[in-house]
Amino acid sequence: MGKNTGFLEFEKESPPLRPVKERVRDFQEYDTFFAEEEMQRQASRCMDCGVPFCHMGCPLGNMIPDWNDLVYRGHWKEALAALHSTNNFPEFTGRICPAPCEDTCVLNEHYTLDADEKLKKVNAVTIEEIEKHIAERGWSEGWIKPQPPEERTNKLIAVVGSGPAGLAAAQQLRRAGHIVTVFEKDDRIGGLLVYGIPDFKLEKNIVSRRVEQLRAEGVKFQTGVHVGVDFSVKELRKGFDAILLATGAQHARKLLVEGSDLEGVHYAMNYLPQRNRDVAGDFIPEEEKIECESKSVVILGGGFTAADCLGNLNRQGADPEIHQFELIDMEPRPTPVHEEADPDCRANILTESITDNGKGRVKSLQAVSVEWKLEAGRMKMQRVPGSEFTVSTDLVFLAMGFLGPNLDGLLEELGVRLNVFGGDESRSAEEVKKMLRNAQPMFTIYSDENFMTSEDGVFVAGDANRGASIVVWAIWEGRESARCIDRYLMGTTQLPTTPQAEELV
């Protein structure tokens, strides 16, 4: 497998990012690419583990050692086939996945001696970069082509939502021979890939070329259709043999403090789609534009959504002294955009109020440091006396996570039950709406081990099923739900499974 001593001979390297001064002036991807020889050298670092934990650390069950070896030997087309056998969209995961595979790489546990004979940690294989390079080689060589089904079943399936879960499911179901229609409420296909992830992390032509592949395979797309609002659930039920809900989890956590409704306080998922539309050249009415140039900003939240806000702010010319506060005992996750502005990042910060400037706009944010202690098996928060502080700001962006799927007409009319975290029984959409008036529990659409909801023939996948998560889990859920839908309709299925699926089903 690969080069037996590769991990000892070569250091882990990733392609350099574009220079900060250059990349903050545009919205192109900040990553660059290595030459083929360098990628082969990096692939040679894979050490042929007896137990490949990278394979098990990836929700998709990607056969990582296999395609590392193929890349090392220069067999790129075969590497692409191995990669596609478990992952429909490796060019997405190669760019925006947090790479749990690299966290579980056995090399993370190894040390070697440096030139001074001191112990030096051996870093993980650069799995995500290799994955991206394989996919891009496939596109540039013309190896990635539509794969329409050889046989047709005439079974009609509706997929509601066109994010990675919906697209993965649609492709799998179409290749099984079914007639698949994807409904998307926005004007472009891609869900959060298009209207959540910024272009500097994932340029939209990367998404659109996959969409065109699915279209060529026979998947039908209907944009601007909000099922349950302008397309009735009755029509949906009547017109399709099975329905997959891949609507995501966009019900944002609210900031329940005085002043949270002031002008200048914005949810991240109102800001990010607007930025992507602006980059795409769409018309944004002046009264709706969120202007950030030269303005002071506070971001509340420490995850990827908060970082996406930060990257956009850097490119809009916001005041470089940006504050990013995280409530929990964890520093905001460092990303390339943090190198661009060096924001004031702090953990264990609780926002207590936002002050009005006297004209209905934000003037400042009042906060306090907190400590977390384990009491009776649960983490409890305590204010640190005397740690109160105030930050002057023009804008506050709320990137504090998501509670669950939007509770619009779709879920209510379908009658699907919901799981509330910490509860012991499923609830209706109306019951959860009532709970949200006084609390902020996390919730998902109920499903059994076959991804079927409480309603026969209605399935769920992705964030709507498991809660807000990462792209590899979304693709895995899309693939697995497709397998279950195929079996539901046909009595059996030939769609592939993964080790994780075998444990669940």
Q: Is the pLDDT of residue 500 over 60?
A: no
Question: What pLDDT, on the 0 to 100 scale, is given for residue 397?
Answer: 98
Query: Hey, which residues does 180 pair with through a beta bridge?
Result: 157
Pure H helices in 142-203: 164-175, 192-195
The token duo for 249 is 């989890």
Residue 379 and residue 373 in contact, taking contact as beta carbons nearer than 8 Å: yes
Query: Would you identify the CATH topology of the domain 156-251+403-504?
Result: FAD/NAD(P)-binding domain (3.50.50)
Count of C-beta atoms within a 10 Å radius of residue 350: 17
Question: What pLDDT, on the 0 to 100 scale, is given for residue 238?
Answer: 96
| 404 membership: H or E segment, kind and range | strand 402-404
**Percent of the chain residues topping a pLDDT of 90:** 84
The token duo for 301 is 């939240």
Mean pLDDT of 29-45: 95
Mean pLDDT of 239-257: 97
DSSP code for 15: P
CATH 3.50.50.60 fits 254-400, yes or no: yes
What's the CATH architecture for 6-141? Orthogonal Bundle (1.10)
Mean pLDDT of 355-374: 96
Residue in the block written with tokens 């504090």: 400
Mean pLDDT of 148-166: 97
Which position has the higher pLDDT, 2 or 314?
314
Q: Which of 104-113, 309-318, 373-382 has the lowest average pLDDT?
A: 104-113
Residue 32 and residue 146 in contact, taking contact as beta carbons nearer than 8 Å: no
CA distance 460 to 446: 8
pTM comes to 0.94
Q: Kindly report the backbone phi and psi dihedral angles of residue 380, in degrees, each rounded to the nearest multiple of 5, phi listed first.
A: -120, 145
The token duo for 218 is 């026979």
* pLDDT tens track for 280-338: 999 999 999 999 999 999 999 999 999 999 999 999 999 999 999 999 988 887 899 99
DSSP code for 107: G
Residue 391 and residue 364 in contact, taking contact as beta carbons nearer than 8 Å: yes
Question: What pLDDT, on the 0 to 100 scale, is given for residue 108?
Answer: 83
Helix, coil or strand: residue 459: strand
Mean pLDDT of 10-29: 94
Helix, coil or strand: residue 178: coil
436 burial level (CB within 10 Å; 0-12, 13-18, 19+): middle
Domain map (residue ranges) of the chain: 6-141, 156-251+403-504, 254-400
Q: Is the pLDDT of residue 501 over 50?
A: no
The DSSP bridge pattern shows strands 402-404 and 251-252 to be antiparallel
Q: Is the pLDDT of residue 120 over 80?
A: no
Among residues 168, 298, 190, the alpha carbon closest in space to that of 244 is found at 168
Q: Is the pLDDT of residue 391 over 60?
A: yes
Mean pLDDT of 149-171: 97
Core vs surface per residue 234-263: b (16+ CB within 10 A) or e: eebeeebbbbbbbbbbbbbbebeeebeebe
Q: Is the pLDDT of residue 502 over 70?
A: no
Question: What pLDDT, on the 0 to 100 scale, is given for residue 504?
Answer: 37
Task: Calculate helix-pair angle for 127-141, 76-84, nearest 10 degrees.
Answer: 110
* pLDDT tens track for 170-190: 999 999 999 999 999 999 999
Confidence band for 121, pLDDT divided at 50, 70 and 90: low
Domains 6-141 and 156-251+403-504 share a fold: no
The DSSP bridge pattern shows strands 349-356 and 362-375 to be antiparallel
Ramachandran region of residue 61, left (φ > 0), alpha (ψ -120 to 50) or beta? left
Helix, coil or strand: residue 265: strand
Q: Is the pLDDT of residue 481 over 80?
A: yes
Residue 400 and residue 253 in contact, taking contact as beta carbons nearer than 8 Å: yes
CA distance 375 to 388: 24
* pLDDT tens track for 419-431: 999 888 899 999 9
Average pLDDT, whole number, for the chain?
A: 93
DSSP 270-318: HHHHHHHHHHTT----GGG----TT--EEEE--SHHHHHHHHHHHHHT-
To the nearest 5 percent, what fractions of the chain are helix, strand and coil? 35, 20, 45
CA distance 159 to 161: 6
Residue in the block written with tokens 């649960």: 378
Q: Which residues contact 161 (CB under 8 A, 6 or more apart)?
A: 182, 183, 184, 191, 245, 246, 247, 248, 462, 464
Question: What pLDDT, on the 0 to 100 scale, is given for residue 1?
Answer: 59
Residue 176 and residue 61 in contact, taking contact as beta carbons nearer than 8 Å: no
Q: Kindly report the backbone phi and psi dihedral angles of residue 447, in degrees, each rounded to the nearest multiple of 5, phi listed first.
A: -150, 155
Q: Which of 213-217, 219-223, 500-504 has the lowest average pLDDT?
A: 500-504
Q: Is the pLDDT of residue 38 over 60?
A: yes
Confidence band for 395, pLDDT divided at 50, 70 and 90: very high
In this structure, the dihedral spanned by the alpha carbons of residues 188, 192, 196 and 198, taken in order and rounded to 10 degrees, is -80
* pLDDT tens track for 306-321: 999 999 999 999 999 9
Among residues 51, 48, 206, 43, the alpha carbon closest in space to that of 127 is found at 43
Helix, coil or strand: residue 426: coil
Question: What pLDDT, on the 0 to 100 scale, is given for residue 505?
Answer: 36
Q: Which of 28-32, 112-116, 245-249, 388-392 has the lowest average pLDDT?
A: 112-116
Q: Is the pLDDT of residue 37 over 80?
A: yes
Confidence band for 498, pLDDT divided at 50, 70 and 90: low
Q: Is the pLDDT of residue 357 over 60?
A: yes
Mean pLDDT of 19-40: 96
> How many residues make up the chain in this entry?
505
Question: What pLDDT, on the 0 to 100 scale, is given for residue 479?
Answer: 97
